[in-house]
Every structure is written in structure tokens, then in C-alpha cells.
Structure 1
Amino acid sequence: MTTFDTDVVVIGAGPVGLTLANLIGVRGHRATVLEARHELIDYPRGVGLDDESIRTLHTAGLWQQIQPYTVPHHVVRLVNGTGQVLATNAPKTQEFGYPRKHGFIQPLVDKELAAGLDRFEGTKLRFSHRVVGIEDRGDHVAVTAERLDADNNATGTVTLTARYAVGCEGGSSFTRKWMGVQFEGKSPSTRWVVVDVENDPIGTPSVYLGADPRRPYVSIGLPQGIRRWEFMLHDDEPNELLDDPTFMHSLLRRHVPDPSALKVINQRTFTHHGRVASDFRKGRVFIAGDAAHLMPVWLGQGWNSGIRDATNLAWKFTAVLSGDADDALLDTYTEERRKHAADMIDVNMAAGTVMKMGRFGGKVRDLSASALNLVPRWKSYFTELRFKPMPRYAAGVVVDQATLTPGQAQASFKRSKLAPFIDSAGELSPVGLQFIQPRVNTADATNILLDDVTGDWWTLATWGTDPTAFLSPTDLEFVRRHRIKLVSFMPETQRTWAEKQYAGSSAPVTVVGDTTGALKDWFDVRSCGLVVLRPDRFVAAASLTWQATQALASVKKAGSLFTAGAAADTPAQTTARTTEGVQA
């Protein structure tokens, strides 16, 4: 068996690369992170953290350390030049277990991500290593980096071998350029200046997007007393004006009486970008985060979109490295992530257009917003963040609910062959969407988040029944082979009965008490009694309970998963499965 220096080389120690390395490490594999800088970036960049990302940080075992650097329920208000609130974004839902939006301090979060790598013996973070070469050798990759001194002069080179390499080194990605893929989209010429200060002189805790025709601005309250302002620069205002205190004070004077008294911790310019790579994979080399897509900052999705990439890619690496799946599983990464990234870019670009409207367009916008706020349905469209496209994977590791066809999933099953067999208030399929995370009870714990019960690998769950009831002996062997946790969701009133009833099932079953009714409501309108959840908590398949065998077979095909006794027994396989049997 061939031995490589590491399993995955991660290029770039930003939040995406560090998160990816943590997720690889927490599942028992090795990663080496190469970073050209001598240390982590110490100034704030991203400021918005979504509930989906928190779920990933929890999986990585780092949420408890990161939580002190966040503020939950970050409200965003769009205001015009007179301070009139045009739209408010204040989602109250916690369907994924956490408040939907948080403010956060990126440098402190990045430090926790970096420190998390120390938990894993085979995972390393190497600063002052600038990647200058990548070679795909068929069954592995070789990544060459220059070792840099304090003045960024090369003092030698080192070459690492690995099963795979992932470029997470930002918009100017060496890896993406090596891949030769297109970087499609546009970069508007509009420039912005960002100013971060300590000891917030305003103290308002949330976010204001100032759609002022004279000069659009952003004002953000962040944790630990940090205030961020962003101001649009006009075309005739050169970047050098940032060095002019008179100009900078003129920008800030509208917000504070004495700009000279502010303690500035970061001041720089940036240009919004809206670009996405044509492919996220070439052979054994991948890209993620800003290397794969760049988006404007309006909805705070650049950081979160990169974390989604890491979440998607990490479990697929784990399955292949563990010998559970064929390398073809990794082809679904681009298939699943690229479209959502492109959709998110479009929404952010549209938001920027609304922000930058001139005087006439601004008046039309303000009148339209006032009218829409009078209609509860449209008002909630903005308040609950419904305009944000939630990740939905229509192709990849998914199974169509109506036909149980692997590899694709229609959003609706209305007028399908499934219709005669169901009575349901809904017609939309949950396949390809993230599963909810309410608080639940089990025999061992009360009032805990569902992810703490199901774990971070595959789950097969049913509502109100024994999940083994419709599984054949072959199915059960497949369940053991892939460490699929079997779960029965029950009303809390029936949990004790079910625990006794299923004690003699043909495989261990974890009974989950639905204390809030959220799980019952979820199944009630989705025309299924069984779901197969992927390691990233997205629904791979949803079916009626009697379709269990067919649904499981389709998941196997969609995920390129091996059957019992089969594995990718090649010289390049460096690690074995770390856990055997069905998780109890």
C-alpha cells in the first residue's frame, strides 16, 4: 500500500481551508494546510455568520470556542438617504438549531479554526509556504511550495504528496489558474472604503444598509465593541484619498461628531466582484471558497458560501478516503455547489443595484418599498430572508422522490406517479434540502439538538415506525457497511413505548422524542415517512416507508457507495474505515 505525506493538501489558511482541514481531521483523516503568509490575517473581513455555517462549526467540534466572538439575531435594515426604513431583515426562525444570522469577528474565529487543527496528530498548518507547482500523477498529487523568509524570499522548496489537493487561497487563486478553468462573471468598477473602529461610538447592535443616493454606506455593530462603516467611492475619487484625514473625516462626520477621536483598527478599499469558476474540479485538484466564486458583500454570503463548499467536499473526501465510495462521488461537488454559488452571486448583485440607485431611481425604490411593506406577505419576504436562495441540490447525491431515480431530484412531485399513494398537504419535495434541527429527547439525554443524536455521518430515519421494518437482510448489511444510523422519530408521548418495542429490532434503533412537534409538522407536509440524510444533513432521499429498499439502493448509486465487502482497494488508499457496525 502506497504511503503519501498526507491525505489532502489544503492551499490557503483562510476560513474555508481551515474549516475543510478541521472537518477532514475530525473524521479521522490527515490534512496539511500550506499558507504563504507568515501568520493569519489580523483585520476583520467577513462579518456575517449563518445558521448553516454554525451547524458545520458544531460538526467540527469548534462552535463552543467560536460562540463568544459572535452576536446572534443580527438584524439588517435597508434605509434611504433620510433614514426611512425601506426593508427589515430579522428572521426569527431557528429551523436549523440556531438563530439564522450572527455578527462575528473573523480574525478571532480564524484563530480558533487554526487552533482546532492541533487536535489531530496527522494534520499540520505550515505558514510561510507559497505553492508554486501542482502535479496530478493519476493516483495522487504532488504539491510544491517555496519556503519563505521574513522578507518573502524563497529559501528552498518542499514537495508534498497526497491523495487530493484543494485550493482555498482566494480570488487570485494559483490553483484555479493551474486548473485552467474560466472565472465567469464581472467585477463592477465601484470601489468601497471600509473602516473598522474599536469602542463603538454609536452602540446600535445591528446592521444598516444606507441606500443614500449621495453616497451609499453601511454601518455594522459587531461583537466586542467593534463598529464597521463602509462608504462607496465615486469614480473621480482616487484610492489615495484614504490617506487624507480631511476626506476620511468627511465620510464619518455624518455618523459621529468627532471622527478624529475614533480608534481605527482597519482601513482599506475593496471592489465588489461577482464571479464563479466554470468547474470546481480537475482530476485530483479542487477549488473552494473565493478561489471558486467571488460575490459582493451585501448579504454577508462570501464567508458562508465558502463554508458550504468545505462542508460539501469534506464528507465526500472522507467517504472516498475511507474506502466507502468510488472517486466518482467527488464529481458531484461541482454539480451541487456551483449553481447555488451562482444564484447567490446574482442575488447579491441585485442587492447592490438597489443600494446604488441615483436620485430618481431611489425615489421610485422608496415608493415601491413603502407600498410593499403594506402587504404582510411581501413584508415577510424580506423580514424572514426568503429572497435568499437556500441551497437545494437538484442533481448529485440525491434521489427523486416521485420516481426514486438516483442522481436527480425534482422540486415537486405534483401530478407524479407518487400521487395516488399519498395524502399530504404539501407537494414540494424535501430532497436536496437541508434537514431541520429541533431540540429532542432520547433515552440518554433531554432537550438536545438533533445533530447531537444523529452524529455526523449517514442517517436513515422514519416517522412513527421501526426503521428496520422494511429493510431486507441485504439492506441491513449495507447499513452496517456504511455506518448508517437508524433513527425512529416519535411523539415524545410514545418514546418510552417505542424504546421497549424496538429493543429487539434486527439492528440497533435510536428513538427520538419529538418534544416540540417540529418533526411531526415536517413529515406532515412532505409526503414521506422515511428519509435518508447525508453526512452534511441534506436529504438524499425521501420516500414512503415501504419503499425503503428502493430508496436505499438509489442512494447507493447516487453516492457511488460500495456494497458490503467491496472497497476501493487500490495502492492509493492510505486509510481504512475507522468505525465498523451500525451506530447505536
Structure 2
Amino acid sequence: MSQTGITPVTIVGAGPVGLMLANLLCVYDIPVVLIERNLDTVKAPRAVSIDDESLRSLQVAGLADRTRGICAMDYGSVYLGPDRRPFASVSPSTAEYGHPRRSAFAQPELEALLADSLRRYPHLTARFGHEVLALEQDDNGVVLDVAGPDGKRYQHRSRYVAACDGGRSPIRHMLDISMKGYTYEEKWLIIDLKGTRDNFRQTRVYCDPRRPGINLPGPNGTRRFEFMLLQGETDEEVTAAEFVGKLLRDHGPDDGIEIVRKQVYTFHARMVTEWKKGSVFLLGDAAHLTPPFAGQGLNSGLRDASNLAWKLAAVVRGQITPSVLDSYGQERAEHAWQLIEMAIKLGRIMMPDTMTKARLIQAGFRALRLAPPVNDYITQMRYKPKPRFSQGFIVPDGGKLRTTQVGRMLAQPNIETENRSTRRLDTILGTGFALIAFSQDPATAFEGLPELPFEDRLDLQRVCITPRYYNVFPAAPNAATVRDMNGDFERNCPGARDRWLLVRPDRYVMASIPRHSPQDTVQALSRLLQA
């Protein structure tokens, strides 16, 4: 058995999560080997919904504009009762993180785009048709036993391994890591159509105990239907042409459209008990299985990649000690499970098991219209758990979880640069750490800030943001200076004038340094970064 040289990071699994992680690591200039047992990326439709956080991660990877080109951007949902009359709608209009809160895409197109983008990087080695058969760990990292397309086995050594190998995850089983949660008793039939005669671009949710279902528009004039199987129905029965045709006739004008895929699924609400073992990390479906009712399964996986990529890069480059890697599971577990719980709650609304429950749900939502703030909470999709951490690689400032900026994803407003061009904030922040000052006087924006002993090591980018009604001159010394064009930064970051925000590469606020007494926070940051 031959043996290859050591690789800083090896990714097992070239689905969307593995490909996303590879792109981010390549942006951070880390050599990567990508191992995938299949000969190519997927061709069949799978995930269909992408959110603002995922598009922001793709923006960091330099792929947001290309991704938007394959998406149907910015759509919502209409909830219909058994009488097919709408009783609630979700149509978010805000873009706090710089992108629409919900858009449609086709997974094969996204995977092809992500795979194609890797061709830009000479420090990326892709091995399709290779399968990991076993692994061992020692003080120097991980040794993978791999079989190539010709069946010949070789050993591949890597400092770190990211397992993005799906819900059945062979690597998770090799590590003997269990999952907690449960599996839904109900099965669902998924039907993907090549086209559609229906030009309605919102998702229809049929909250009907006689046959719960979902009707989702896709990009390029495609459409997906999802229907719950009723008691006693078999997989063979519901996938028969006559049965599928009747379902389509009952739910729109698309009977007779070419069917790309029809498949019966069982859904899960499960999460691993350990996200990391030694030098091996679990991501995506290998770490968590999310019911589809909120469209967050793939998005949670992309969050995993965004969270882990910069940490691995910082450790490999020697910027931060390996202890930062322990925060991966701390940070991701809490948010991933919150989204699983949200999907479970939405499933209860979508799948009332009696007509009485269906009518009560409708009555409840219609009553919300009498309370505009509560109704706005629903229509603007504010029930979705905010991306924020209560623990992890952060320096808490003592504020309440709902109000503190620490551990929260930073808002991404449109900004105006010194040459009057308009951009999103992240294009100025770059791909590393950033220190943000919000000040009407750029020349004094960083006055009073103590020396940061970690600034050079982190290659910290200083950015001064001026309020909406102030120009960007005089420029802040040794910093980029931009203007908050629409006041979105100030609106989403209350109190920003009184502090400096240290932002991580994944756009989460690591620390809030108070201007009136910055020394304690700076010292806490120094300890954390040197631990």
C-alpha cells in the first residue's frame, strides 16, 4: 500500500458542503485534497432553497454573483387551508445580511458551479472515484485508507479531515459517533418537474389533513411538489404514473410536464453527539439531519463550512492555536438544533392530522392580522433563529443575548466608498479579520484604542463606517473608510458609535470593545487568541 505526503486539510465528500468548504479554504490559501467516491457531482435535484446566510458565505468565496445567476431570487410562501384559500403568508422584504432571505436553486447547478470554481486554485487536488475505507489518528493527524478508481489502495495522511460524506456518513460510523433525535413516521413523495405551466413564484403550502403538500417554484421555470403519504399507501403505489398524474391535476396545471425525479423519502430530526473527534470534523448531513419544512438542511451545512473553514486556515497558518477548533461544535450545535426545532414546528402547521386542528391553525393565523407587530414577525420570517452564539470563540461583553452584538452575525449594508462606488460591506472587509469603527469623524475613529498585540498576526483590516449623513473624508488613517448609505448598519448595530467591533472572517462579531474602557476586552482577546 503506497503512502502520500501530508496534506493540511482533506475533505471527504464533494457534495455542496464539501465543495463549499474547499472553496473557502482555497480562498484562505490553504492546500486541500478533496476525496469523493462518486465520479462526478450529483445530477438529480435535491435541495432547492438557499438563504441569505448561505449567499453571504458564497460571497466570501467570490461566488455570490455567479450563484445568483442560477437562482430564482427572493420568494416567500403562502399557506392554504383545506379549502385552498390562503390564511397566512411569509414574504420577507428585508436583507439584513446583504441578500434575500430566501431564494430557489437547483442543487446540481450549484454543485457544478462550486466544482468548476475550484479549477482556479492550483493548491486544490480533487480525487473523484476515490473511497475512504478506514481511518486512524495519531499525534500528527489522520491516516486515511483510500481505494482509487482502479481498486488500488493507498494511505493518505492529513493534518485535519472534514467529513462531508452525507447522512449515512461512513466516517461518522468509523469514529463511532452517535446521533440524537428521531425519525418521522410519515413518508413524503417528492416530484421534480422539468418545467411548469404555473407562473406563480411563491411556494404554496397545503395545510390539509387529507393530503399535506408543498408546491415550490424553482429556477429556470422548474417546479417541485412534495406530498405526504397517507396511512396504508406504499412507495410503489404513490410513484405510479396514474397516481402522480392525479396529484398534479389536483394541485395545478402541470400534469403532463416531464418528470425529472419522483422519490419517496423519510425525514429525520437528528444531530450528532460529537461534532469533532481528534482531528476529524463532521459537517452537513454527516452532523445533522433536518426536516425539509423550513428549507434549512443544506443551509445548515453551508454554515458548518463557513464556521470551520477560517478556523482551520488560521490554525494551519499559525495565526491561532488549535484550541480554536474546539469551538466548532460549541457554536454550531446550538444554532443547528434551533433550526431543526423551527422545522419541526413548521411541520406541525403544514401537517395537521385532523380537520379541527387545520381550522384552529387557520383561525389563529388570521387573528394575528389584528396585531401588526406579531403579524410582521411572521410575514418577515423573523421567527427564524438569528445566527448568533451564546458560547464559543468570542469575548462576551455581559450584554443580554438578544441585544449584544457579540456572537451575532454582522449586518451587511450597502456602503459608498471614497470614490463614490456602491458595494456591499463584505467587499471592503476582505476575507480575514476586521476591526470596525462607526464614527462621523474618520480622522479620530480609532483614537483611544489600545495597542492590539495580535493585530499584525491576524492581518487585521481596519474599516471606518460613517453614518448616512456624513461623508467619508477625511479618510481614517491606515483604514478603509466607507459610508452607511441607507442607515442599515446603524439600525442593525445599535450602540456602534460607543465601541469598536472585532469581526471574524465568517462575519460574526468576536468582541465589542467599549471606547470608554477598552483595556479589559483587549486583554481578554489577547488571552483567547493565545490560548
TM-score bracket, normalised by the shorter chain, equals over 0.9
Q: How does 1:33-72 map to 2 (within 5 A)?
A: 33-72=34-73
Is 1:454 matched up with 2:429? Answer: yes
- Tell me the secondary structure at the aligned position of residue 69 of structure 1: coil
What residue number does 1:513 align with?
483
Q: Deviations over 1:330-387 (max 9, x none)?
A: 0000000001111111111111122111212112112212212222122111111111
Q: How many angstroms does 1:182 deviate by?
A: 2.1
8 Å Cα contact 2:466/2:472 also seen in 1: no
User: For residues 525 and 491 of structure 1, do their structure 2 counterparts lie closer, same or farther at Cα, with a shift above 3 Å needed?
Assistant: closer
- Deviations 1:241-291, CA, capped at 9 Å, x for gaps: 2442222222222024572x2201111111111000011000100000110
Q: What's 1:318 paired with?
A: 313
2:449 aligns to what?
Answer: 471
Partner residue of 1:569?
A: none
Counterpart residue identity of residue 125, structure 2: K
Structure 1 residue 411 and structure 2 residue 401: aligned?
yes
Alignment of 1:355-394 (within 5 A): 355-357=350-352, 358-394=354-390
Whole-Å separation in 2 of the counterparts to 1:89 and 1:554: 42
In structure 2, C-alpha distance between the alignment counterparts of 1:549 and 1:12, rounded to whole Å:
44
**2:241 is the counterpart of 1:263:** no
Match of 1:231 in 2: 227
One-letter identity of the residue aligned with 2:215: S
Aligned position for 2:338: 343
User: 1:528–1:542: 8 Å Cα contact kept in structure 2?
Assistant: no
**Contact 1:324–1:561 (Cα < 8 Å) also in 2:** no
Shift of 1:391: 1.8
Q: Secondary structure of the equivalent of 1:497?
A: coil
* Cα distance in 1 between the residues matched to 2:239 and 2:393: 52
Helix, strand or coil at the partner of 2:152: strand
How does 1:475-494 map onto structure 2 within 5 Å? 475=452, 477-491=453-467, 494=470
CA deviation string 1:452-502 (max 9, x = no partner)? 1111111111121535422334x2x42122111112221355444331xx4
8 Å Cα contact 1:400/1:431 also seen in 2: yes
Aligned partners of 1:118 and 1:124 also within 8 Å: no
Cα displacement (A) at 1:91: 0.8
How far has the Cα of 1:109 moved from its partner? Answer: 0.8
Structure 2: runs of 5 or more not aligned: none
Is the CA contact (8 Å cut-off) linking 1:130 and 1:145 kept in structure 2? yes
Q: Which residue of 2 aligns with 1:309?
A: 304
The residue number in structure 2 matching 1:182 is 178
Q: Does the 8 Å CA contact 2:198/2:253 hold for their aligned counterparts?
A: no
1:222 aligns with 2:218: yes
| Counterpart for residue 413 of structure 2 | 438
Q: TM-score, normalised by structure 1?
A: 0.86
Tell me how far apart the structure 2 counterparts of residues 114 and 524 of structure 1 sit (CA, whole Å): 40
User: Which one is further off, 302-311 or 392-401?
Assistant: 392-401
- Determine which of 498, 504, 523 is the counterpart of 2:474: 498
Structure 1 residues 462, 547: CA separation in 2 closer, same or farther (over 3 Å shift)? farther
1:550 is the counterpart of 2:520: yes
SS of 2:383's equivalent? coil
| RMSD value, Cα | 1.9
State the Cα deviation string for residues 504-537 of structure 1 (Å, max 9, x = none).
xxxx122222222223334445684211111111
Question: Deviations 1:61-97 (Å, cap 9, x if unpaired)?
Answer: 1122222110111111121121222221111111111
Q: Distance in 1 between matches of 2:519 and 2:182?
A: 47
Residues 9, 33 of structure 1: 8 Å contact kept: yes
Given that 1:460 and 1:530 are in contact with CA atoms closer than 8 Å, whether structure 2 keeps it comes out as: yes
Is 1:168 aligned with 2:164? yes
SS at match of 1:498: coil
Say which SS state the counterpart of residue 486 (structure 1) adopts.
strand
| Aligned equivalent of 1:278 | 273
Matches within 5 A, 1:567-578: none
Residues 324, 482 of structure 1: 8 Å contact kept: yes
Identity of aligned residues (%): 30
Is the CA contact (8 Å cut-off) linking 2:417 and 2:472 kept in structure 1? no
The alpha-carbon deviation at position 110 of structure 1 amounts to 0.7
Relative distance call for 1:410 and 1:256 in structure 2 (3 A) is closer
CA distance in 2, matches of 1:125, 1:57: 20
1:256/1:370 Cα in 2 relative to 1: closer, same or farther (>3 Å)? closer
Amino acid at match of 1:458: F
Segments of 5+ residues of structure 1 without an aligned counterpart are 150-154, 403-408, 413-427, 563-584
**Structure 2 CA distance for aligned equivalents of residues 177 and 258 of structure 1:** 42
SS of the residue 1:23 aligns to: helix
Counterpart of 1:521 in structure 2: which amino acid?
R
Q: Distance in 1 between matches of 2:517 and 2:274?
A: 35
Q: Residues 396 and 4 of structure 1: is their aligned pair in 2 closer, same or farther, counting only changes over 3 Å?
A: farther
Q: Give the letter for the 1:472 counterpart.
A: P
**Residue 128 in structure 1 maps to residue 129 in structure 2:** yes
- For the residue of structure 1 that corresponds to 2:158, the secondary structure is strand
1:50 Cα offset (Å): 0.7
Match of 2:98 in 1: 97
Instruction: Report the 3-state secondary structure (helix = DSSP H, G, I; strand = E; otherwise coil) of the residue aligned with 2:474.
Output: helix
C-alpha distance in 2, partners of 1:547/1:467? Answer: 15
Contact 1:73 1:100 in 2 (8 A): yes
- Within 2, Cα distance between the matches of 1:319 and 1:467? 28
Is the CA contact (8 Å cut-off) linking 1:432 and 1:539 kept in structure 2?
yes
1:196–1:267: 8 Å Cα contact kept in structure 2? yes
1:193 and 2:189 correspond: yes
Q: C-alpha distance in 2, partners of 1:276/1:147?
A: 31
Q: Aligned to 2:236, which of 240, 245, 256?
A: 240
Name the CA distance, whole Å, in 2 between partners of 1:380 and 1:492.
26
8 Å CA contact 2:8, 2:30 repeated in 1: yes
CA contact (8 A) 2:47 2:106 kept: yes
Single out whichever of 12-21 and 79-88 deviates more from structure 2: 79-88
Relative to structure 2, which stretch is displaced further, 458-467 or 99-108?
A: 458-467
Give the AA of the match of 1:509.
A
Q: Distance in 2 between matches of 1:117 and 1:497?
A: 39
Assess, with a 3 A threshold, how the Cα gap between structure 1 residues 547 and 115 changes in structure 2: closer, same or farther: farther
Determine the C-alpha separation between the residues in 1 that align with 2:420 and 2:262: 48
Supply the distance in 1 between the matched residues of 2:166 and 2:527 (Cα, whole angstroms).
34
Cα distance between partner residues in 2 of 1:446 and 1:210: 45
Tell which deviates more after alignment, 110-119 or 458-467: 458-467
The TM-score normalised by the length of structure 2 is: 0.95
Asked if 1 retains the 8 angstrom alpha-carbon contact of 2:335 and 2:385, the reply is yes
Offset from partner CA, 1:196-242 (integer Å, 9 cap, x none):
11221212112111111110111011111101111111131111124
| CA displacement at 1:538 relative to structure 2 | 0.6
Letter in 1 for 2:169: S
In 2, the alpha carbon distance for the partners of 1:401 and 1:263 equals 56
Equivalent-residue separation in structure 2 for 1:498 and 1:516 (angstroms): 20
Secondary structure of 1:298's aligned partner:
helix
Q: Tell me: CA distance 1:304–1:556, structure 2 relative to 1, closer, same or farther (3 Å).
A: farther
- The answer to whether structure 1 residue 106 and structure 2 residue 107 are counterparts is yes
Preserved contact between residue 467 and residue 487 of structure 1 (Cα < 8 Å): no
Separation (CA, whole Å) in 2 of partners of 1:520 and 1:98: 18
Aligned residues: 524
Partner of residue 327, structure 1: 322
- Mapped partners of 1:455, 1:379: distance in 2: 37
Pick which of 120-129 and 331-340 moved more. Answer: 120-129
Q: CA separation in 1, counterparts of 2:502 and 2:252?
A: 54
Match of 1:422 in 2: none
